[in-house]
Chain A
Amino acid sequence: MSDLYPLGLRLSGRRVLVVGGGPVAARRARGLVEAGAVVRVVAPEACEELASLAAGAGGPGTGGATVELVLREYRTGDVDGVWLVHTATGDPAVDARVAADAEAARTFCVTAGDATLGTGWVPAVGRVGSGGDEVTVAVSAGRDPRRAVAVRDAVAAELQTGALPLRRVRATGSRAGRVALVGGGPGAPGLITARGRVLLAQADVVVADRLGPRMLLEELADDVLVIDVGKTSGNHPVPQDEINALLVEHALAGRDVVRLKGGDPYVLGRGGEELAACRAHGIEVEVVPGVTSAVSVPAAAGIPVTHRGVARGFSVLTGHEDTGSVPGGPDHTLVLLMGVSRLAEAAATLVTDERPAGTPVAVIEDGYGPRQRVTVGTLGTIAALAEAAGVRPPAIIVVGDVVRLSPHWTATA
């Protein structure tokens, strides 16, 4: 049996007494102000934090909350008419007297020193999210506040990184659904952002591509609707206007939708079109940048797209476009996405006076995936080498002297 009954208090506009003028009292007063309480602090002297709190109370987000600082000793009548008492004087005799007065007035009292004196405990609190979607975690751990804080920190970290379920289970009425365009990164589940992972944990519907961190889909609850719009071999992908319509349809039905994309939504990801389609229907959209494959997949092969003395810039383009007019020499890195099927033609057209046939090239297949493989050569040799190796998509092509920095280059050259 536990002698602690957990409860949340709505203190907005209600009078609360804090006895004590030190840092503990200040911390309590701050928490009470944030909850909107009308706080009176009684103490012979007050620390700087309390004084500034009293001077600046009613700051942003505190509603009508106020802190009144009364610089004198505690008197028995102080507990009259308040909803809650906190005492943190550092003097066990005073704390005991406050607790006894509160008991007589049938007012709950939290004592900072000897917690057994009081009738209430303050848990360690963590909050994730904001507004109506906020999740609050409150931890009590016996009489060990440090242990409670450690547990709170661990739970809060899991929540902030989306490792715990954050989905709304009880419908919050008529709230409109939202769409989040989440850049999932190159594919490894750990390379999604914390924000992206949290949104995924909150989603009712996930619209997923073939690329990106697909393993995360397996961690979703069974009743999360996963719609696969990516192309697989032999199947055509869902056309973009149909994807847009799906996002709009589910959001208008009140569902929170995550459009999970590989890499970054705005790097050849057509995220802009999805944003515009949703906004045209008045749907709230959040865009979460992702780790772009254009930079991270070369990194997986040990290739930095820029490097002092080797490359002072890089260009990202598709292998489908006219590669014959791309400016720069070997000191300017080129990253070609979606270019494997046209590798031979692209390599041939990229050779210019500035960019000779001996310019290094790396082809990285399935970056961060189980089939990750790096094939290196030059603009003159890569097409034949890739064909001999059976290179296939998804793959990223890097052209320029930075390829020489890869351990794969030194291993073959």
Chain B
Amino acid sequence: MTAGATEVTGRVTLVGGGPGAADLLTLRGWRALMAADVVVADRLGPRSVLEELDPRTEVVDVGKTAGHHPVPQEEINAILVERARRGQRVVRLKGGDPFVFGRGGEEVLACRAAGVPVEVVPGVSSAVGVPELAGIPVTHRGITASFHVTSGHGGLDAAALASVRDGAATLVILMGVSMLGTIVRQSLDAGTDPATPVAIVENGSTPAQRVTRARLDEVARVAAEEGVAAPAVIVIGGVAADGVLEEARVGRLAGARG
């Protein structure tokens, strides 16, 4: 450790913001936000909470918006380190959980390498929370006792394909809408039952939440017809069938205020 590192008084807190509704933030995450000097925010997650911050708290927006590229990960890492070295309390607010495809691990390693104190506040992962709010339990007695979470970028790997083919575990795919056609083709080619239920939940936990259900061999066509778009979580397996459970808080979603 260099002599300079001992001068660091700032710190970085990675906060998992949950799927989007502000009240699905944890209390610890909320407190970190309220005490922050600077909040580095993504496009997803509880954006409305940014409006409730102390007016003196600076917000650095690193999320991608339509037509704009997001800030590269290396640059985000550098922002976190640089701000903490200025002595600031930095909150990195992320959608879902920081360690579920959130690249939070890279941010932690960058801070550690720079000698910056870093803490992780876990969040409600969209992989579990989004299906849940749509009435889809990732595990359910009599259907399945395990689940498998993967990213849809680049299609399914061998482990995910084995999981969906055997029907032994619920398969949850994040960031997979643009690859849906590939995912379906891979699953069918691997020998998955074409009648396997699939549910796609868009904009989970927000008033715009929508669930689209279909059989595996029909879901790509149905999703295209319905105009299904990101952000969305795809669930494949018996728990995705219609009528396993009711939606979790339909009344509250209709009532708008989070």
Q: Which residues of A contact B (CB under 8 A)?
A: 130-131, 157, 160-162, 183, 185-186, 188-195, 197-198, 264-268, 270-273, 275-276, 279, 284-292, 295-296, 298-300, 302-308, 310, 312-318, 321, 325, 327-329, 332, 402, 405
8 Å CB interface, B171-188 against A: none
**Across-interface contacts of B24 in A (CB, < 8 A):** 193-195, 288-289
Contact at A190–B27, with CB atoms within 8 Å? yes
Among candidates B120, B139, B141, B166, residue contacting A299 with C-beta atoms closer than 8 Å: B120
Complex CA–CA separation, A253 to B163 (angstroms): 44
**Across-interface contacts of B18 in A (CB, < 8 A):** 193, 289
Chain B interface size range: 35 or more
**Across-interface contacts of A312 in B (CB, < 8 A):** 150-151, 157
Q: Does B61 contact A (CB under 8 A)?
A: no
Contact at A266–B27, with CB atoms within 8 Å? no
Complex CA–CA separation, A192 to B23 (angstroms): 10
| Binding-face segment, B191-199, B212-220, B240-248 | B240-248
- A272-B140, A272-B141, A290-B124 given as contacts; is B168 within 8 A of A325 (CB)? yes
Contact at B148–A267, with CB atoms within 8 Å? no
Complex CA–CA separation, A192 to B28 (angstroms): 8
8 Å CB interface, B94-117 against A: 97-101, 103-106, 108-109
Contact at A194–B22, with CB atoms within 8 Å? yes
Complex CA–CA separation, A305 to B139 (angstroms): 18
Contact at A317–B169, with CB atoms within 8 Å? yes
Query: How far is the CB of B172 from the nearest CB of chain A, in Å?
Result: 10
Listed A/B pairs (17) with beta-carbon separation below 8 Å: A130-B257, A160-B23, A161-B27, A190-B121, A193-B27, A264-B132, A275-B245, A285-B246, A289-B18, A291-B97, A292-B125, A304-B105, A306-B151, A307-B106, A310-B105, A327-B159, A405-B105
**Across-interface contacts of B132 in A (CB, < 8 A):** 264-266, 287, 289
**Across-interface contacts of B139 in A (CB, < 8 A):** 266-268, 316
Most buried by A among B151, B163, B244: B163
Q: Which residues of B contact A (CB under 8 A)?
A: 16, 18-19, 21-28, 30-31, 34, 52, 97-101, 103-106, 108-109, 120-125, 128-129, 131-133, 137-141, 145-151, 157-160, 162-163, 166, 168-169, 244-246, 248-249, 251-252, 255, 257
Contact at B128–A267, with CB atoms within 8 Å? yes
Closest residue of chain A to B31, judged by CB? A190
Most buried by B among A157, A185, A302, A314: A314
Contact at B100–A130, with CB atoms within 8 Å? no
**Across-interface contacts of A183 in B (CB, < 8 A):** 124
Closest residue of chain B to A185, judged by CB? B26
- A157-B34, A317-B146 given as contacts; is B26 within 8 A of A130 (CB)? no
**Across-interface contacts of B34 in A (CB, < 8 A):** 157
Among candidates B26, B30, B255, residue contacting A291 with C-beta atoms closer than 8 Å: B26
Contact at A189–B122, with CB atoms within 8 Å? no
Query: How far is the CB of A383 from the nearest CB of chain B, in Å?
Result: 21
In order of increasing CB-CB distance, the 6 nearest A-B pairs are A328-B159, A190-B28, A327-B162, A289-B129, A296-B122, A287-B248
Complex CA–CA separation, A170 to B104 (angstroms): 47
Most buried by B among A131, A194, A317, A402: A194
Among candidates B98, B122, B150, residue contacting A191 with C-beta atoms closer than 8 Å: B122
- A188-B28, A195-B24 given as contacts; is B122 within 8 A of A295 (CB)? yes
**Across-interface contacts of A314 in B (CB, < 8 A):** 100, 148-149
Complex CA–CA separation, A303 to B104 (angstroms): 11
- A161-B30, A271-B137, A308-B105 given as contacts; is B158 within 8 A of A327 (CB)? yes
Contact at A305–B99, with CB atoms within 8 Å? yes
Complex CA–CA separation, A186 to B244 (angstroms): 26
Complex CA–CA separation, A186 to B52 (angstroms): 27
Query: How far is the CB of A327 from the nearest CB of chain B, in Å?
Result: 3
Query: How far is the CB of A406 from the nearest CB of chain B, in Å?
Result: 10
Contact at A313–B159, with CB atoms within 8 Å? yes
